[in-house]
Amino acid sequence: MPRRPALLLPALAVNVIIASGTFLVAKRTLAEFPPLTLALLRFLLAAGSLWPLTRLLLRGRRIERADRPRILLLGLLAVPLNQGLFLVGMQWASASHAALLYALTPAFAILFLALGGGPPPGARQAVGIALAFAGVLALMLQRGLHFDRHSLAGDAVILVAVVAWALYLVAGRTVTRRYDPLLVTTESLLAGTALYLPIGIVAIRGFDPRSISVAGWVGLLYLAWLTSAVNYVIWFWGLRHLKPGTVALLTNVQPVVTAAMAWAFLREPLPAGFALSSALVLGGVWIAQPRQAPEEGPAG
């Protein structure tokens, strides 16, 4: 493994802060943008920024024709199903709940790997996965007991987005072994944006950009450039020098950071059961984490 750069851990700390802030920024930005319109603009800006960066850093490298169907599948999972549903769900879900749900990504990835013919979870992993899902069940039940239908619907949509993200990571493992992960991410984002265009073009009808405040435009740029561009670069840089399990454990700090930021900046109250749900999910994910864990990516 290459010698660890001195700035790697500070960069990963920045990665956690950006990813944790994504949930807050999305919540604030959705107050001005319709979710499907915001998704279209975010995808276009992110793809437009990553494409020239990839061409600069990985000159001459291309995805072979035989692998393009897999790239198309990855684009469908990553863009309309993961990022698109994330923005739809964030209309109603709280920032802290969404961050906690995304912490389930490694648990889902372990399950999907087993279903795809990989090794079944061992006893320790099974216990960890069960604890993590118990934490999410407690979270969802609390929403239901409070009869907050919109928030419960938001959590459910976010959960589907998390499933799509885990499927993306599992489906992309073979491709990223043959190509640079940055190339796979960029090509997948371009393919997913193309698939989303028909929805986005319909959604953007009647959209008046003059109604958006400066804060709204800044939020869009944050989601497109920091979350979808800068954070991916930091993420893959980390994977070059650290074990995936180590990086994944660092990103599991996100729910705690997001909850604290949501309380401080959005005045988002933390329900009494949130601490128990967080302990179950994060503890379960930590227990289930294998030595070479399925990679968990940045949120949204």
293 found inside a domain: no
Nearest one of 157, 210, 142, 191 to 35, comparing CA atoms: 157
Q: pLDDT at position 295, please?
A: 47
**Structural domain range at position 163:** 8-288
Assess if residue 3 is contained within a domain: no
- Give the predicted TM-score (pTM) of the model: 0.83
- In terms of Cα–Cα distance, which of 109, 231, 120 is closest to 171? 109
3-state class percentages of the chain: helix first, strand second, coil last, to nearest 5: 75, 0, 25
* DSSP 8-state assignment for residue 58: S
**Is 215 among the domain residues?**
yes
Reference 18, options 277, 225, 205, 266; nearest CA is: 225
Is residue 294 in a domain? no
Instruction: Say which residue the tokens 């990855």 belong to.
Output: 74
Question: Number of folded domains in the chain?
Answer: 1
Q: 219 in a domain, yes or no?
A: yes
Name the one residue in this structure whose structure tokens are 């739809």.
88
What does each of the 300 residues of the chain score in pLDDT, given as a tens digit?
Answer: 456 777 777 888 888 899 889 999 999 999 999 999 999 999 999 999 999 989 998 988 899 999 999 999 999 999 999 999 999 999 998 888 888 888 888 788 888 888 887 778 788 878 887 888 888 777 767 655 555 677 889 989 999 999 998 898 888 878 877 888 789 889 999 999 999 999 999 999 989 999 999 999 999 999 999 988 888 777 667 656 665 555 555 666 777 788 888 888 888 876 667 778 878 887 887 787 665 544 445 556
Tell whether 118 is covered by a domain: yes
Residue 165 in any domain: the answer is yes
At 176, the amino acid letter reads T
Residue that the structure tokens 């028909």 belong to: 198
Count of CB atoms situated within 10 Å of the CB of 205: 7
Sequence-separated contacts (24+) of 58-62 with Cβ below 8 Å: 58/180, 58/182, 58/183, 61/179, 61/180, 61/183
Q: How high is the pLDDT of residue 243?
A: 56
137 in a structural domain: yes
Structure tokens at 101: 């749900």
Query: Nearest 5 degrees, angle CA 121-CA 280-CA 252?
Result: 80
Residue-level pLDDT at 86: 96
